[in-house]
Amino acid sequence: MNIRIALAGNPNSGKTTLFNALTGSNQFVGNWPGVTVEKKEGKLKKHNGVTITDLPGIYSLSPYTLEEVVARNYLIGERPDAILNIVDGTNLERNLYLTTQLTELGIPVVIAINMMDVVRKNGDKINTAELSRELGCKVIEISALKGTGVMEAAEAAIKAAEGTKTVPMHTFSGPVEHALAHIEEVAVHQMPEEQQRWYAIKIFERDEKAMAQLKLSADVQAHIEEDIKAAEKELDDDAESIITNERYVYIASLMKGCYKKKNAGKLTAS
């Protein structure tokens, strides 16, 4: 048995600290194929059949930086058995942007909210049960620095790997969903079902890498372009910005229900 867990998260979220806590000295360092970005893998402590792959720190799965391309190619091409998404609890709103994209890949996702020692010290509160319900995946509080919750998070990822794929809970606005439904119908039906939504969203965004991978005919491309243009006209923005903005609106609503800042709204003397 070999279970492959990918560790994904923003830069500075504590990914290296968590990777070291999970694997100890049992690490192998190399490069990602064809690029000089460092690749680290390791066996989970006390679980020889579980390999943890440390992905480069990224803010999103758009293909604009080398790190994003490396992380994306691995998640799409190699398809790990589960993703352990490390999230900086002191920067929850920004970190959830990547999370919303990871939940669309058709891979089981477990969220480890890190820096909980700082969150607690600040007196802030994260409603993890609600966040878990809203995002459709298990959420575990950890402190990678202090070592609390880290094995629990890894074990949750193992369990998730053996269970069902995470299903994205978020839906975009009517015009976008209308276009996505058409795209799913004409352009991505040859892909495994759990990956269809991811590809449909990427195609809506006119993501060149995803379009090249699907080898769409000129006919299909023209048909899809009409759907995208209709949504752009209705929402008065370009497709990529529409998706980005709607993600931020969704995350803001998640934050409202799941996050309480101790001193929110209070004026500070300065």
Stretch that binds ligand BGO, among 13-21, 163-171, 219-227, 228-236 (CB under 6 A): 13-21
Stretch that binds ligand BGO, among 4-12, 24-32, 94-102, 150-158 (CB under 6 A): 4-12
The span from the first CA to the last CA of the chain, in angstroms, equals 58
Smallest separation, CB 250 to ligand BGO (Å): 24
Smallest separation, CB 231 to ligand BGO (Å): 35
Nearer to ligand BGO, 6 or 242 (CB): 6
Contact between 15 and ligand BGO (CB under 6 A)? yes
Stretch that binds ligand BGO, among 39-47, 139-147, 179-187, 196-204 (CB under 6 A): 139-147
Measured in degrees and rounded to the nearest 5, phi and psi for residue 192 equal -55, 145
Contact between 114 and ligand BGO (CB under 6 A)? yes
Nearer to ligand BGO, 15 or 138 (CB): 15
Smallest separation, CB 143 to ligand BGO (Å): 4
Nearer to ligand BGO, 9 or 42 (CB): 9
What mask of x and - would describe binding to ligand BGO in positions 39 to 68, judged by CB under 6 A?
Answer: ------------------x-----------
Contact between 115 and ligand BGO (CB under 6 A)? yes
Which residues, 156 to 175, sit near ligand BGO by CB under 6 A?
Answer: none
Binding stretches for ligand BGO (CB under 6 A): 9, 11-17, 57, 114-115, 117-118, 143-145
